Structure 1
Amino acid sequence: MKFPVLRLVRHPLATLACAALSLHPAAAAAAEPGASADPAALPTVVVSASSLAHTLKDAPASISVITRADLEKRPVLELADLLGSIEGVSLSRSGNQVAGVQLRGLGQAYTLFLVDGKRVNSNNVSFRGNDFDTGWVPVAEIERIEVVRGPMSALYGSDAIGGVVNIITRKIGTIWRAALKLDTVQPDNSAAGDTRSASLSASGPLIADVLGLRVSSSYDKRQGDQGLNAAVNGVAQPGFPLIANRALGAALAWTPASGHDIKLGHDTSRRERLHDPANITGLHGMAGYRSDPHIQIAQYALFMEDEIALRDDLKLTIGERYDHHQHFGGHHSPRVYLVHQLTPTVTIKGGWARAFRAPTLLQGSTNWGSVSCGSATVGCYIVGSPALAPETSTSKELGLQFDGGRIGGGITAFDNRLSGMIDISSRTSDRVLAPTYANFAGFLADGRPIFAYQNIARVRTRGVESSVHATFSTHWSARANLTWTDAKNTSNARVLPLLYRPRQNANLSLDWRPDAQWPSSASVRHIGAQYLSVPSNGQNLVRKQAYRVADLSTAYRVGALTVGAGVLNVGDKGRQRDSSADFNEEGRRVFLSMLAKF
């Protein structure tokens, strides 16, 4: 389906950022090339859970880390696919749009994306899914990704009600280094598009220990599918569209003192082209159509946080954020989190937080409209609503972590309650049924029904996250996680499930290293049953059954060269799309990759 009303093209998109970052010395050391990989010698340090750097077990939040080694195991075109293997993370997969990252059953609008601590969220300017948030950095330049599961609004603002994804780039080292990475992915089905990607990066000192430079360039392209899906009731759904990304980047880093960096960077990126109906035009055929293309608001915030050592083994983190919104006045977002080192290997964590989230610019404006319901001519039309109220949330979590060196893991229970959740999923193209919907707003001149964003009174997401990792020997290691999530709209007498929230997600990976030259891995993802369509009247719910995807990969390393190969989605599962609300899983495909370091 194509919508010619608006084309969002990030070309050229230029950003100029200057940030002063103060890092714990261990955090800086952990990012240096050649740093020890022995967990006993240097524990993993994270910087996204608070205003201070912490080890994973001390951090006042539930955090998962995707390492550089994880990124190099297989070709990564969209980071969202890799993030979906983390406990507590599910993907919003409406149609075949780029997947949205959902944390603990909350929608993608509640996940804040950062690059080196700087926000890059684009939810305020886009209605449908996009990869702007996950595509800012070439994969070759990513050092690690920290995923904070749980509310972080006190520190980062209202976008972080669900949590934070912080993409941390590689530090500019003390010597010059360069890397070239090439990937090709060939599908088993000739109707599916193939993928090619390339990246080149270099960094090093211009003035030893004082000034460094990093430059990078990348390109990836996935051809569009052609006739991939079989017809259902005479209708064949489209497959994945063409995706092409180009990026150039450069950064300078000044080190005035040990452990401190001041960075100046400039990036341009040409991203995927989107045909999106989102347009600030008013209603078609109505007075005032296209009369005012501008929307703006003013908002400011104040933030404070303190970590209090109640005892050597007991620390309390207290945070408070005050936001003042032009339309909704002042709101508080407090947070309290307790970390208790019960023993050297066992940690108990728990916290409580409250937050508010104002409607986005588009959600709150009747001057914004979008075609929907599957057609730009005979479907429906959706608009913003100035009657919307801010969302408020209350979140709790309690967890236990164990780290005995060779074996470790954890379990965490969470409960999120949202009042006034902003929603637009209630809509239909049926002109007879449309007036029965609570958010029905009338008809266009051509007869299409109009629906407005609405506040759903109550939404609750709760669940349990569990994970375990084990090193059996110098050759074998394994990781597994399981998440159970119950995400529901509890506004009315009949409780309804939320869309694209699998009830269970599980991941298992096994790494085998017969020697340093031959790393191999196998992984299995279980994506639980989920709902694709949930009408507000509770009738005719559409449910997608659970499925599992297995991947195999191996690599050979010789000197500075690594050649990898593997098979993705070995069983060719989940690739059929039966309806417009359904989605394709990438089918069986083989890949070949090469990484050269200089």
Structure 2
Amino acid sequence: MSSLYGSDAIGGVVNIITKKATDSWHGSLSTTYIAQQQDDAGDTSKYAASLSGPLSEQLLVKLYGAADRRTADAEDINNSGRAGTPYRKNTSANGELTWLINDDHDLNLNLDASRRNHDDFVLRRDAASLTHRGYYSFGDSQVSLQFDETRNLDGTIGGQNNPNKANKANTWTAQGRINLPIGDSRLSLGGEWKQEELEDAANLSGAPGSATYGQDPTTEVQTQAAFVEYEVPIFDNLSLTLGNRFDNHENFGGHNSPRAYLVWHSTDHLSFKGGWAKAFRAPTLLQNSDNWGSASCGSATVGCYIVGSTELEPEVSTSRELAMLLSYDSWDASLTVFRNDLKDMIDIDSRTRDPVVAPTYPNFVGFLPDGRPIFAYQNIDKVRTQGVEASLNMQLGSNLRAQFNYSYLDAENLSAGAPHDLSHKPEHSANAALDWNATEHLALNVSARYTGTQYTSVSTRGNTVKEAYTIYDMGGHYRVGESLTLGAGVLNLFDKQIENEHWGDFNEDRRQVYASVEYQF
């Protein structure tokens, strides 16, 4: 989808469409508590509230707020020698005002604020957008102006207070799009302008001990883009979509992201889809700045240090997929074959705290005065991911539904030398779920999540392997009257214990019990 969404869409797009403000008053209150069976693991509590309705016939408002908190795991959970999940507290609030100017025009103002505290490192984010939608005899349009700021209130090193502004500290985005029906076809045209600025006195100051340390804690970049998409029916049951986006990046010049996609409805029940696309992703402000650096490898004193690089090239991918879809009244299924060839993948996984082994890494650049090895972001010449995705959804009677999906992934680094696997890319993964509407008020569910064998570290010293495992969950909810819903369940039902064996990995929570209450009005 980079033909529409540009640099950020190289790995795909998740399009989240929130509920619009309503013309009558509605709201909800909810809370959830998750208790760990394991004494040295932290419990979680969540709260949320929403309200939506009309201030007048033409003015609608929508408000939302949420908070969640997890207490910290014990410092040496499971006697593993590695820290568990730290203390975490998140709060967020969102307000949206919609002005229905007339039947053909509306204006939407959205304000968003959040505060994230992870292990006493606090990030605060504020965002705003103003969007106009118009509907005309020749088509429709959407024009928006967006602002996004993230502030790091404490810095990134434990025991120190270095307030700074984090990556994408100030981002201004202006974009517009117009859709033009042309007979049975549709033409979409649009453009985007983006300005990103970053000020980070703690991390954007050069390597500690260097001659230029602390001299210039700012960086910025600007991009412009234009895109076009044309959807045309070739026959009644065959349609073609063609598109292209041209991005002009201040540091990397112009890049095209074309795509072509076919959809063929062979019968009422059988469809085929297939397409080809190219995309690019520019390095972030931090990745592309040799003035940026941060502690890594699990420690700010005896770990390693990572820095940006002006020598980075943008990632460029070529993707192909072919899918078959079957759909009947009581079941549907799909099978998709895909391949992605990625050139110049931006990577920082190649690093170690070991000062003896560090110089053997291709992105090793030297040592800090305190002896910690320094590694720079690098491009991996060629990476290929290919595989198969399959899904099956079945309605088993009037009140029972089953869902399955499976993925096979072959992900390899094809750069110089023998091909080798990538970390955190399991070859096999699958999910299964069973939903049972036991009565008019009671619904129950059970699910399973399988994660195949994967590498959590790939290095010249050998690979760290995490064995395959399956996590089972079960739960349900009971509706009391029209407004109140009670929920309960068990996560990791059989208490599967998965511990990290590498500083870049994570623990799976052991058995947890949860309860929830939601009131709608």
Three-state SS of the structure 2 residue aligned to 1:501 is coil
Q: Which residue matches 2:124?
A: none
State the 1:227 CA deviation: 4.4
Q: Which residue matches 1:268?
A: 113
Question: Are the structure 2 counterparts of residues 218 and 259 from structure 1 closer, same or farther at C-alpha, using a change threshold of 3 Å?
Answer: farther
Question: Are the structure 2 counterparts of residues 495 and 572 from structure 1 closer, same or farther at C-alpha, using a change threshold of 3 Å?
Answer: same
Could you tell me which of 16, 23, 26 is aligned with 1:167? 16
State the 1:206 CA deviation: 2.0
Question: Are the structure 2 counterparts of residues 298 and 399 from structure 1 closer, same or farther at C-alpha, using a change threshold of 3 Å?
Answer: same
Q: Which residue matches 1:566?
A: 489
1:156 maps to 2:79? no
Q: Which residue matches 1:201?
A: 50
Return the letter of the residue paired with 2:111: H
Q: Which residue matches 2:436?
A: 512
Return the letter of the residue paired with 1:172: A
1:385-411 Cα shifts (integer Å, max 9, x gaps)? 111112211000000111112100101
Distance 1:255 1:440 in 2: 58
Structure 1 or 2: more strand by fraction: 2
Could you tell me which of 214, 233, 256 is aligned with 1:332? 256
State the 1:166 CA deviation: 2.1
Three-state SS of the structure 1 residue aligned to 2:77 is coil
Q: Which moved more, 1:299-308 or 1:271-280?
A: 271-280
1:162-185 Cα shifts (integer Å, max 9, x gaps)? 111222212222211110101111
State the 1:473 CA deviation: 1.2
State the 1:257 CA deviation: 5.3
Three-state SS of the structure 2 residue aligned to 1:388 is coil
Show the 5 A alignment for 1:178-197.
178-197=27-46
Question: Are the structure 2 counterparts of residues 516 and 258 from structure 1 closer, same or farther at C-alpha, using a change threshold of 3 Å?
Answer: farther
Question: Are the structure 2 counterparts of residues 261 and 164 from structure 1 closer, same or farther at C-alpha, using a change threshold of 3 Å?
Answer: farther
CA contact (8 A) 1:286 1:445 kept: no
1:220 maps to 2:53? no
How many residues are paired up? Answer: 441
Q: Which residue matches 1:547?
A: 469
Distance 1:578 1:451 in 2: 22
State the 1:551 CA deviation: 0.6
1:211 maps to 2:59? yes
State the 1:426 CA deviation: 1.2
Q: Which residue matches 2:451?
A: 527
Question: Are the structure 2 counterparts of residues 180 and 260 from structure 1 closer, same or farther at C-alpha, using a change threshold of 3 Å?
Answer: farther
State the 1:374 CA deviation: 2.4
Return the letter of the residue paired with 1:219: A
1:460-513 Cα shifts (integer Å, max 9, x gaps)? 011111101011111211101001111111102221111111111100000111
Q: Which residue matches 2:500?
A: 577
CA contact (8 A) 2:44 2:70 kept: yes
Q: Which residue matches 1:382?
A: 306
1:413-459 Cα shifts (integer Å, max 9, x gaps)? 11000111111111122222222221111222222221111111100
Return the letter of the residue paired with 1:184: Y
Q: Which residue matches 2:131?
A: none
Distance 2:76 2:400 in 1: 38
Distance 1:261 1:485 in 2: 45
CA contact (8 A) 2:290 2:308 kept: yes
CA contact (8 A) 1:220 1:246 kept: yes
Return the letter of the residue paired with 1:359: P
CA contact (8 A) 2:456 2:502 kept: no
Return the letter of the residue paired with 1:416: N
Show the 5 A alignment for 1:56-75.
none
Could you tell me which of 79, 102, 105 is aligned with 1:231? 79
TM-score (norm 2): 0.82
1:108-145 Cα shifts (integer Å, max 9, x gaps)? xxxxxxxxxxxxxxxxxxxxxxxxxxxxxxxxxxxxxx
Larger Rg: 2
1:339-367 Cα shifts (integer Å, max 9, x gaps)? 11111121100010011221111111110
CA contact (8 A) 2:295 2:306 kept: yes
Distance 1:419 1:510 in 2: 40
State the 1:261 CA deviation: 4.7
Question: Are the structure 2 counterparts of residues 264 and 156 from structure 1 closer, same or farther at C-alpha, using a change threshold of 3 Å?
Answer: same
Greater relative contact order (Cα < 8 A, sep 6+) = 1
CA contact (8 A) 1:192 1:228 kept: no
CA contact (8 A) 1:229 1:577 kept: no
CA contact (8 A) 2:41 2:77 kept: no
1:282-327 Cα shifts (integer Å, max 9, x gaps)? 0101111111000112211111111011111111111101111112
CA contact (8 A) 1:510 1:521 kept: yes
1:255 maps to 2:114? no
Distance 2:242 2:111 in 1: 35
Return the letter of the residue paired with 2:511: R
State the 1:569 CA deviation: 0.6
Distance 1:481 1:258 in 2: 43
> Percent of pairs identical after alignment?
46
Question: Are the structure 2 counterparts of residues 211 and 477 from structure 1 closer, same or farther at C-alpha, using a change threshold of 3 Å?
Answer: same
Q: Which residue matches 1:240?
A: 85
1:30-76 Cα shifts (integer Å, max 9, x gaps)? xxxxxxxxxxxxxxxxxxxxxxxxxxxxxxxxxxxxxxxxxxxxxxx
Question: Are the structure 2 counterparts of residues 227 and 434 from structure 1 closer, same or farther at C-alpha, using a change threshold of 3 Å?
Answer: closer
CA contact (8 A) 2:205 2:293 kept: yes
Return the letter of the residue paired with 2:63: V
Q: Which residue matches 1:23?
A: none
Return the letter of the residue paired with 2:473: D
Show the 5 A alignment for 1:80-119.
none
1:408 maps to 2:332? yes
Three-state SS of the structure 1 residue aligned to 2:78 is coil
Three-state SS of the structure 2 residue aligned to 1:272 is strand
Distance 1:239 1:259 in 2: 54
Return the letter of the residue paired with 1:564: G
CA contact (8 A) 1:416 1:462 kept: yes
Distance 2:517 2:416 in 1: 55
Question: Are the structure 2 counterparts of residues 430 and 228 from structure 1 closer, same or farther at C-alpha, using a change threshold of 3 Å?
Answer: closer
1:200-234 Cα shifts (integer Å, max 9, x gaps)? 111012223x32111122111111111463335xx
Show the 5 A alignment for 1:353-432.
353-432=277-356
Q: Which moved more, 1:402-411 or 1:570-579?
A: 570-579
Q: Which residue matches 2:126?
A: none
1:596 maps to 2:519? yes
Return the letter of the residue paired with 1:248: A
Three-state SS of the structure 2 residue aligned to 1:290 is coil
Runs of 5+ unmatched residues, structure 1 = 1-151
Return the letter of the residue paired with 2:493: V
Distance 2:354 2:279 in 1: 37
Three-state SS of the structure 2 residue aligned to 1:155 is helix
Show the 5 A alignment for 1:263-342.
263-273=108-118, 274=121, 276=156, 279-342=203-266
Show the 5 A alignment for 1:484-495.
484-495=408-419
Distance 2:367 2:51 in 1: 57
Three-state SS of the structure 1 residue aligned to 2:359 is helix
Question: Are the structure 2 counterparts of residues 358 and 200 from structure 1 closer, same or farther at C-alpha, using a change threshold of 3 Å?
Answer: same
Return the letter of the residue paired with 2:27: A
